A and B are shown apart, each in its own frame.
Chain A
Amino acid sequence: MADVLTFTDRGIYCPAGDFYIDPWRPVDRALITHGHSDHARPGMGRYLATTGTAPVMRHRLGDITLETIDYGQEKQIGDACVSFHPAGHVPGSAQIRVAVKGEVWVVSGDYKTVADGLSEPFEPVRCHAFITECTFGLPIFKWTPQNVLTQQINDWWTANAAAGRTSILGAYALGKAQRLLTTVNPDIGPILTHGAIENTNTVLRSQGFTLPKTTLVTKEISHKTHPGALVLATPSALGTTWARRFGPASTAFASGWMALRGVRRRRAADRGFIVSDHADWEGLNSAIKATGATKIFATHGYTSAFQKWLTSQGYDAHIVSTDYQGEGFDQADEVEA
């Protein structure tokens, strides 16, 4: 049987439907798993994405030709039948199921298996071949349970506020920041946001997501106007002049990489909270098992180790080279294998 999907230098391609999934070079027709910039890129002729992903794509990519689809809804494209299923990565994110003549392949994009209280929870999809990321595909990665994480962040914020310090937390603008917003206790103090994060908040609120009250950081705002605040900032804003306006502060990063003491210390932040929108080791293995697939393609992350591991577990596992970046946090200085 011919392959449902092939791997090209433009992206993942479906010959039966003549479309690409998350391509990194301009193509006519692109199916998009989610709105992060390494998956939803500009310059495609037509886009197809979930209803939940559409607003953020329009916000980021501007005037694009975009058709939307609901989770679970089937759509025929050429000889291929496609449908989108929750990936649990960020709000609106999807795995894309492609069926051609009874052969089913699933592209998972980025995903995580634990519910984060904001994104539509991950849904296993039965298939013959599963295309998976493995950003954290080593057994050293085990995420802190959400309730423990929430407690850690609340305790840190409370202690800082009591000591007259601002709490500056670095997190991704799309997904991670909002997930943290919904989990912290807003009664501890005011919540301030960096522009990139507030933009995403606006988009998500207009989609009907409930987020606590946040205040955009403008010129007039500092630790004097908002004592004991929690400041949500993009990781790149930490340590800049922008962050210095908040006076005495404790800084923290929220990332899966914080599981590693070396990375944590290199970032020179006071705290590191272990939280990721990607699956940890256990999550990857259980997700793959639940698909029932025998053929696995690992796209980005610790691909060589993960492929070897899957092979030892009896899978027909392969590595495919893509331009996806996984959790780009410390990306420039991470060795992938």
Chain B
Amino acid sequence: MKDFATLFTRIDESTKTTVKTAALADYFQTATPEDRLWTIALFTGRRPKRTITATRLREWAAEVAGLPDWLFEESYSIVGDLAETIALVLPPATESEDQTLTHWIRYIKTLSTLEDDERKAGILGAWNSLPNTERFLFTKLLTGGFRIGVSAKLITRALAQATGQPEPQLTHKLMGNWTPDTTTWEALIEADDPTADLSRPYPFYLAYQLDGFDDLGAPADWNAERKWDGIRGQLIIRGGEHHLWSRGEDLMTDRFPEFAQLRDYLPDGTVIDGEVLAFADEKPLSFNALQKRIGRKTVPKKLLTEAPVILMAYDLLEHEGKDIRDQPLKDRRAILETLTQATPPEAPFRLSASVPFQTWDDLSAARDQSRDLNAEGLMLKRRDSPYLSGRKRGDWWKWKIDPLTIDAVMIYAQAGHGRRANLFTDYTFAVRDGNDLVPFTKAYSGLTDAEFRQITAWVRKNTLQRFGPVRQVPAEHVFEIAFEGIQASPRHKSGVALRFPRMLRWRQDKPVDEANTLDDLKEMLATYG
């Protein structure tokens, strides 16, 4: 695993993408094909199955290091990463073994078939034969979650350098539900046909937020449609089967069984980009309705009737088995319209209608209706644009409505993890209720590093009480909290739950008695909930 450790170190030591890409490209040319494949898998979130619980690993590491459990936990809370903590506290290895990455992954897999004490011996033996970085990486393989600052984009760029294949083609090849157990480097990367796997999705085309109309040219060149507030999805109908992928490359087919019937109405060899929406009486329901269906692997009948879903179709990527992403949007939409007309109204399928407009002012007025329609804003797409992969500027823009905001008081702070270990970055916020403060949300993003440092220094000096890792602080600082939605929640003291809350601004100009109240929050719930 030495070469993998070298790769990791080169990536980890640099903040420059060119250096990271070069390191990966070198590795893709020199490592064994199996190791290359596993490396791609790990860096794109396809980690091996966990065979040992984190609890067991902590116990064993503390035991080997001769530390009481509480001291190990204390160390873990400072380091913020379990594998790193373990690698740091263990005594130096007394043996050495250089095996491939694939060897160690297989080694971990075989442990699952063993008894507890044999597994323990297996792990301790590995720890004792690997030097620091390799030991950290081995433990990372055990604990899962291999995030080290390498994006899928970077992987693709490095693969393009190493293989000479174009990036978009490689992006497509890396999509879908392959694992190193189901394919090979040869089949996945070297082979020509990216559609060999019937379930494989196309890379999603993502838009940037619109920053003005100046560079757009004539309004007539553009098609506008609603940006629906559901789950972006790609429906694939090939070989008599259907698959539904999320933007995060999660296979959601079983979660939304109603789409099975679309096989009867849409021709084989169809791939549609759309939005999965909770929908009733020809109107989208709020995201809250859809939320009940998210995270459920199977759906009870009752929920199917309470929160029925449809696919709101945006675009057609494949027609009659042919990749048509290079054709202009207007042509793709024309075919999509024909397909939509062939589906009966009871089918869970609608075309996302174009929003008519003559001027940008018209469009602005249309955007103002978004909240009433349960939409998050508008999408602007150039009529002659191809369907690109990934986030690209120029042809597609999203024009989201402004988030809801509320001024709240910080009352608790907690240290973050990983890059934010040792920094107080996770805060709990309250609104005023008479003389009381009622906590209603947590937030941990939106501030600059400098602001986080400043608040961290303040928290250290102003801790009132500690509850484990959580510190109570004086109610002195007001923050503007932005969020995308609000719903009633009996589980929370405040009676509400927010969607995607984050800190918009530290309101150092605002005294605590000008922060919003529980009544303000309830009013927002009544209006937008």
A residues with CB within 8 A of B: 138-142, 259-263, 265-266, 268-271, 302, 305, 308-309, 312, 330, 332-337
Q: Is the CB of A335 within 8 A of B67?
A: no
Q: Is the CB of B449 within 8 A of A266?
A: yes
Identify the closest chain B residue to A309 (Cβ). Answer: B71
Q: Is the CB of B78 within 8 A of A335?
A: yes
Q: Is the CB of A139 within 8 A of B422?
A: no
Evaluate whether A263 and B422 lie within 8 angstroms (CB atoms) in the complex, with A139-B75, A139-B89 already known: yes
Q: Tell me, in angstroms, the Cα distance from A302 to B460 when the chains sit together.
A: 13
9 pairs across A/B with beta carbons < 8 Å? A138-B78, A260-B84, A260-B422, A262-B421, A302-B74, A302-B78, A309-B71, A330-B422, A333-B452
Q: Tell me, in angstroms, the Cα distance from A140 to B14 when the chains sit together.
A: 23
User: B213 on the interface (CB 8 Å rule)?
Assistant: no
Query: Which residues of chain B from 65 to 93 have a CB within 8 Å of any chain A CB?
Result: 65, 67-68, 70-72, 74-75, 78-81, 84-85, 88-89
- Chain A-chain B contacts (Cβ-Cβ < 8 Å), number: 83
Q: Is the CB of A333 within 8 A of B418?
A: no
Q: Is the CB of A332 within 8 A of B421?
A: no
Evaluate whether A308 and B89 lie within 8 angstroms (CB atoms) in the complex, with A262-B80, A266-B423, A335-B422 already known: no
Determine how close the nearest CB of chain B comes to the CB of A223; give it in whole angstroms: 18
Q: Is the CB of B460 within 8 A of A336?
A: yes
Identify the closest chain A residue to B15 (Cβ). Answer: A268
The 10 closest A-B CB pairs, nearest first, are: A262-B421, A333-B453, A140-B88, A305-B74, A140-B75, A332-B457, A335-B422, A139-B89, A333-B456, A265-B419
Determine how close the nearest CB of chain A comes to the CB of B138; give it in whole angstroms: 16
Q: Is the CB of A266 within 8 A of B419?
A: yes
Evaluate whether A270 and B453 lie within 8 angstroms (CB atoms) in the complex, with A139-B67, A260-B422, A262-B422 already known: no
Q: Tell me, in angstroms, the Cα distance from A336 to B460 when the chains sit together.
A: 8
Determine how close the nearest CB of chain B comes to the CB of A13; give it in whole angstroms: 24
A305 touches which of B71, B149, B460 (Cβ 8 Å): B71
List, in ascending order, chain B residues with CB within 8 A of A139's CB: 65, 67, 71-72, 75, 88-89
Q: Is the CB of B424 within 8 A of A335?
A: yes
Q: Is the CB of A312 within 8 A of B68?
A: yes
Evaluate whether A140 and B89 lie within 8 angstroms (CB atoms) in the complex, with A260-B422, A261-B84, A335-B78 already known: yes
User: B13 on the interface (CB 8 Å rule)?
Assistant: yes
Determine how close the nearest CB of chain A comes to the CB of B408; give it in whole angstroms: 23
Q: Is the CB of A333 within 8 A of B422?
A: yes
Q: Is the CB of B421 within 8 A of A263?
A: yes
List, in ascending order, chain A residues with CB within 8 A of B14's CB: 270
User: B415 on the interface (CB 8 Å rule)?
Assistant: yes
Beyond A262-B418, A262-B420, A333-B456: 10 further Cβ-contacts under 8 Å?
A139-B89, A261-B84, A262-B417, A263-B421, A269-B15, A270-B14, A302-B78, A332-B454, A335-B415, A335-B424
Q: Is the CB of B423 within 8 A of A335?
A: yes
A260 touches which of B13, B79, B460 (Cβ 8 Å): B79
List, in ascending order, chain A residues with CB within 8 A of B454's CB: 332
Identify the closest chain B residue to A330 (Cβ). Answer: B422
B74 touches which of A138, A262, A269, A271 (Cβ 8 Å): A138
Q: Tell me, in angstroms, the Cα distance from A296 to B15 when the chains sit together.
A: 43
List, in ascending order, chain A residues with CB within 8 A of B74's CB: 138, 302, 305, 337
Determine how close the nearest CB of chain A comes to the CB of B302; give it in whole angstroms: 45
Q: Tell me, in angstroms, the Cα distance from A329 to B59 when the chains sit together.
A: 33
Determine how close the nearest CB of chain B comes to the CB of A176; give it in whole angstroms: 20
Q: Tell me, in angstroms, the Cα distance from A305 to B71 when the chains sit together.
A: 7
User: B306 on the interface (CB 8 Å rule)?
Assistant: no
Contact indicator per residue, chain B 28-58, by CB within 8 Å of chain A (1) or not (0): 0000000000000000000000000000000
Contact indicator per residue, chain B 290-323, by CB within 8 Å of chain A (1) or not (0): 0000000000000000000000000000000000
User: B12 on the interface (CB 8 Å rule)?
Assistant: yes
Q: How large is the interface on B (under 10, 10 to 19, 20 to 34, 35 or more residues)?
A: 35 or more
Identify the closest chain B residue to A257 (Cβ). Answer: B422
Q: Is the CB of B79 within 8 A of A262?
A: yes
Q: Tell me, in angstroms, the Cα distance from A260 to B78 when the chains sit together.
A: 9
Identify the closest chain B residue to A304 (Cβ). Answer: B74
List, in ascending order, chain B residues with CB within 8 A of A266's CB: 419-420, 423, 449
List, in ascending order, chain A residues with CB within 8 A of B78's CB: 138, 140, 260, 302, 335
Q: Is the CB of B456 within 8 A of A260?
A: no
Q: Tell me, in angstroms, the Cα distance from A139 to B452 when the chains sit together.
A: 27
List, in ascending order, chain A residues with CB within 8 A of B421's CB: 260, 262-263
Determine how close the nearest CB of chain B comes to the CB of A157; give it in whole angstroms: 15
Determine how close the nearest CB of chain B comes to the CB of A249; give it in whole angstroms: 12
Q: Tell me, in angstroms, the Cα distance from A165 to B15 when the chains sit together.
A: 15
Determine how close the nearest CB of chain A comes to the CB of B47; give it in whole angstroms: 19
Q: Tell me, in angstroms, the Cα distance from A268 to B75 when the chains sit together.
A: 23
Determine how close the nearest CB of chain B comes to the CB of A272; give it in whole angstroms: 8
Determine how close the nearest CB of chain A comes to the CB of B392; give it in whole angstroms: 27
Q: Tell me, in angstroms, the Cα distance from A271 to B415 when the chains sit together.
A: 24
Determine how close the nearest CB of chain B comes to the CB of A183; give it in whole angstroms: 21
Q: Is the CB of A333 within 8 A of B13?
A: no
A142 touches which of B88, B149, B423 (Cβ 8 Å): B88
List, in ascending order, chain B residues with CB within 8 A of A337's CB: 74
Q: Is the CB of B457 within 8 A of A333?
A: yes
List, in ascending order, chain A residues with CB within 8 A of B15's CB: 268-270
Report which residue of A260, A308, A335 has the largest number of chain B beta carbons within 10 angstroms of its beta carbon: A335
Q: Tell me, in angstroms, the Cα distance from A46 to B346 when the chains sit together.
A: 92
Determine how close the nearest CB of chain A comes to the CB of B109; give it in whole angstroms: 27
List, in ascending order, chain A residues with CB within 8 A of B456's CB: 332-335
List, in ascending order, chain B residues with CB within 8 A of A259's CB: 88
Q: Is the CB of A261 within 8 A of B12?
A: yes
Q: Is the CB of A262 within 8 A of B419?
A: yes
List, in ascending order, chain B residues with CB within 8 A of A268's CB: 15
Report which residue of B68, B419, B452 has the largest number of chain A beta carbons within 10 angstroms of its beta carbon: B419
Evaluate whether A140 and B79 lie within 8 angstroms (CB atoms) in the complex, with A260-B421, A333-B422 already known: yes
Determine how close the nearest CB of chain A comes to the CB of B470; give it in whole angstroms: 12
Report which residue of B13, B15, B80 has the largest number of chain A beta carbons within 10 angstroms of its beta carbon: B13
List, in ascending order, chain B residues with CB within 8 A of A140's CB: 75, 78-79, 85, 88-89
List, in ascending order, chain B residues with CB within 8 A of A142's CB: 88
Identify the closest chain B residue to A271 (Cβ). Answer: B13
Q: Tell me, in angstroms, the Cα distance from A139 to B81 when the chains sit together.
A: 15
List, in ascending order, chain A residues with CB within 8 A of B452's CB: 333
Determine how close the nearest CB of chain A comes to the CB of B203; give it in whole angstroms: 28
List, in ascending order, chain B residues with CB within 8 A of A309's CB: 68, 71
List, in ascending order, chain B residues with CB within 8 A of A335's CB: 78, 415, 422-424, 456, 460
Contact indicator per residue, chain B 170-210, by CB within 8 Å of chain A (1) or not (0): 00000000000000000000000000000000000000000
